[in-house]
Amino acid sequence: MAKATSRKTQKAVAGNTRIFLVDDHPVIRRGLAQMLSQKGQFTIAGEADGVCDALAGLQKNEVDLVIVDITLADGSGLELIKDLHTMRPETKILVASMHHDAMYAQRAIRAGAQGYLCKEQPPDQIIDAVQSVLMGHIYICPDLASTVLQRALQPDDKQTDDPIQALSDRELEVFELLGDGLASREIAERLSLSIKTIDTYRDHIKTKLNFDSSNEVTHHAIRWKLEREKG
């Protein structure tokens, strides 16, 4: 449902829209920056490859829209979205992700984003997504919109049979990094958390997924990550 368009939104859509890009791939950032700059009404106000740099940059720059990936150099885009939503609730957030998955779209919107698009969408659809979010609408890429809506209308206890859905955003982030083959110490360093905290998350994951050991969690995480990359 469309929201009332504020004066700030009207100004952003009309021109001189300041956009901040957060993605751990320089080529992706460069491509987005070039595509948006060619439109004339958009200005790239800053870039970052991770959570820390993004928060530091956004404290120095007032922007109308942040385009953020789910997977970043030093953490999760979902956690960044929550921080940004708390820090600057008036700033629009659009996720641009390689995760073609309704689960991530649903979590991103729940975290505070106003839109979710997949990076493989053609340029005109990406521009449509940007303009839609700036106008105060919720945007979800067409291929996922129906699934996300169906899930939103279901009771929480009937949303899915996938046990991964039971994981919190932070637990899912740790699970994904385990799927990349990282040990607890490496995950702790990447997320700026203690090893003890990471091991606690691993125990929560083990319990929620009904596994007998931490090794079983790791093996399942690796298989899950490979299957998602194939699909």
Is 158 inside a domain boundary?
A: no
Retrieve residue 178's tokens. Answer: 């385990």
pLDDT tens profile 11-29: 444 458 999 999 999 999 9
Is residue 118 domain-shared with residue 189, that is, in the same domain? no
Beta bridge partners of residue 143, listed in sequence order: none
Is 31 inside a domain boundary?
A: yes
Is 167 inside a domain boundary?
A: yes
**Domain limits for position 209:** 163-230
Is the Cβ–Cβ distance between 47 and 29 less than 8 Å?
yes
Is residue 167 domain-shared with residue 124, that is, in the same domain? no
Based on the number of CB atoms within 10 Å of its own CB, is 17 exposed (0-12), middle (13-18) or buried (19 or more)?
buried
Of 153, 177, 208, the residue that ends a domain is 153
Lookup result for tokens 């994951």: 205
Is 1 inside a domain boundary?
A: no
Is residue 114 domain-shared with residue 205, that is, in the same domain? no
Q: How far apart are CA 196 and CA 185, in angstroms?
A: 9
Q: Report DSSP letters for 60-93, one per residue.
A: H---SEEEE-SEETTEEHHHHHHHHHHH-TTSEE
- pTM to 2 decimals? 0.84
pLDDT at 52: 93
Is residue 198 domain-shared with residue 126, that is, in the same domain? no
pLDDT tens profile 167-219: 999 999 999 999 999 999 999 999 889 999 999 999 999 999 999 999 999 99
How many domains does the chain contain in total? 2
Sign of the alpha-carbon dihedral angle for 79, 11, 26, 122: positive
pLDDT at 161: 65
